[in-house]
Amino acid sequence: MRIAEYPRRHRRWSIATTALMTVCLVAGRQPSALAAEKAAVAVAASNGPILLDREGPAKPWRIVKDLDVLTGGSQIIGSVGATVDSMNGAVRASMVGDVAGLSPFPILETSFLIETAKDVDFAFMMDRGRIDLINRKASGAAKIKVTVRGKSAILTLPDPGDRVALEIYGRWMKGQRFIKSPKGKHEPGLALLLIAIKGEVYVKGPTRTLGVKAPPGPALMLVDDIEDTEPDIQWLDKLPAWVDASDPEIKKKVAATTNRFKELAGKKSIAEALSEMVVSEDKMDRRGAVVILGATDELKQLAEAMIATKYDDVWDNGVIVLRNWIGRGPGQDMKLYNAMIEAKIPEADAEVIMQLLHSFSDAELRKPALYQALLDYLDNDRLAIRGLAHWHLVRLVPDGRKIEYNIHGSKEDRAIGAKAWRDLIPPGTLPGQPKK
């Protein structure tokens, strides 16, 4: 699987939300609380951006203060500019957002798990998003162990100042359907991108060592497995625009939203802060809240916000967050499905919802039956089903965007909009085809 297989979906909303939450879930500990706990392996070095922490999957999140000590097993979420330094100061891991919306992958968030380093300066398990790694030693090489989906490699930055970006993206490929009991391997696709920004970096796998160097040179490495022995290495004359692209105005808005979140969370709680921000009149606040809810696995609160909202962007962004969530790795889609079953949603409806959170194949998109099924779902009494059907239709059939159809509207009003959609795509036809 190569980078070309991932379509770009760079929308204004994603620029803002990625800028707000290139998420780093960081589990932080105050130095005084470290006694008899896990080994201290890093320090939260940010000055301003959000860092959130929890002690375990069932524990609540909290805001981490600057210079808090982080222990092995810490999971990290943080806003753009959030940084973590290895305990020995040799490596800085910086979270970088796709502020200009130019990154090859439509990154929504960044997440990694800090591990106890053995024979290296820094170790972490990369889950999703982008991390920039910098050698901060006064002299000599910095070594970093990176684990992705259970497989590991050692990155070596030979000289002080050497910098590399690691970007990872998982998503269900087009046409991969939801299957409750799959036979054989059935999981989201994975793509990894590594680019040398300054100096060189060597990647040591189980059988060989490969290297890339900053432009001009063989700077970009694409793999679908961290232990890939035959990666796609590309020559670059200069760094791509997405490496350090930024938008001052968006950064300014993001900073304002970040400050509001920290202030609200400090006065109340993280959950209450997100509840308040997701209904804010400020669009950036709503976007940030939706992304954070997904990043922190608060799916129940996210679903409640999507169902109750009066803002179209909350629903739209929520769908994208959920599609991103089920694409994180193996088993994510079943977690969401099981959560719906526990919430007493009928199995048949839950399966339809899961199928609609996946993407359609090119062959399916050439069949009138697909569009007729989506049109029929517009009349469904369950908001999630008609909402997801409408979400697909407005993307597949741009001419339909002018049709007034409110997924939260009354049954009578929805029926009028659904009829307009059927008039646009008559039975047995494809969008854009003349009526028979």
> pTM, whole model, 2 decimals?
0.85
Does a structural domain hold residue 435? no
- The series of mean pLDDT values per 10 residues for the chain, 436 residues long, is 38 41 38 51 78 71 82 80 90 77 72 89 92 96 94 95 93 92 86 94 91 95 83 93 75 82 89 94 92 91 94 94 92 94 96 96 95 97 96 95 94 96 94 71
What pLDDT was estimated at residue 44? Answer: 86
Pairing mode, strands 69-71 and 62-63: unpaired
Q: Is residue 205 part of a domain?
A: yes
Residue 316 domain flag: no
Q: How many domains does the chain have?
A: 1
Residue 400 lies in a domain: no
Q: Residue 258 and residue 44: Cα distance in Å, rounded?
A: 17
Tokens read off for 81: 């500019």
pLDDT score at 101:
60
Give the three-state DSSP class for 38: coil
Reference 249, options 99, 395, 366, 112; nearest CA is 99
Give the closest residue to 286 by CA, choosing from 249, 313, 248, 260.
313
- Residue 321: name the closest of 95, 106, 108 by CA: 108
Domain hosting residue 145, numbered range: 3-236
Show the tokens assigned to 221: 């490495």
Residue 9: predicted pLDDT: 38
Task: Determine, yes or no, domain membership for 82.
Answer: yes
Task: With respect to residue 337, please indicate whether it lies within any of the assigned structural domains.
Answer: no
Beta strands in 224-309 (DSSP E): 232-236
What is the reported pLDDT for 98? 62
Q: Does 171 fall in a domain? A: yes
What pLDDT score does 230 carry? 83
Q: Could you tell me if residue 137 is inside a domain?
A: yes
399: tokens are: 């001419």
pLDDT of residue 176: 93
What is the reported pLDDT for 47? Answer: 62
3-state secondary structure 111-142: EEEEECCCCCCEEEEEEEEEEEEEECCCCCCE
